[in-house]
Amino acid sequence: MASLALEPCTMHVPEIPGTVIEFYPQFIQGSQMVLWRRQDFMKHFDVTIRESAQSFTVTAVDPNAPEAATPGFTPVP
């Protein structure tokens, strides 16, 4: 059985001042690990991974902005 935290944890990315994200971690009964809920992070940032350059970038986005269409991608209803 999993339980969601009642109080959020907060995080910030030092390179992106002024952006503070609230996370509601999930706790699994009998486990010593906490699930940090990747979707909470992904609502606030775009992450680009360039495997060939062995690099990545993290860009803050407005979680309330409408989603932009991905070129060449048509969502299926």
Per-residue pLDDT of the chain (77 residues; tens, 9 = 90+): 778 888 888 887 787 788 787 888 888 888 877 777 666 667 777 888 888 888 888 887 777 777 665 555 565 66
Beta bridge partners of 6: none
pLDDT computed for residue 76 by the predictor:
61
pLDDT computed for residue 30 by the predictor:
85
The whole-model pTM stands at 0.46
All structural domains of the chain with their residue ranges: 2-60
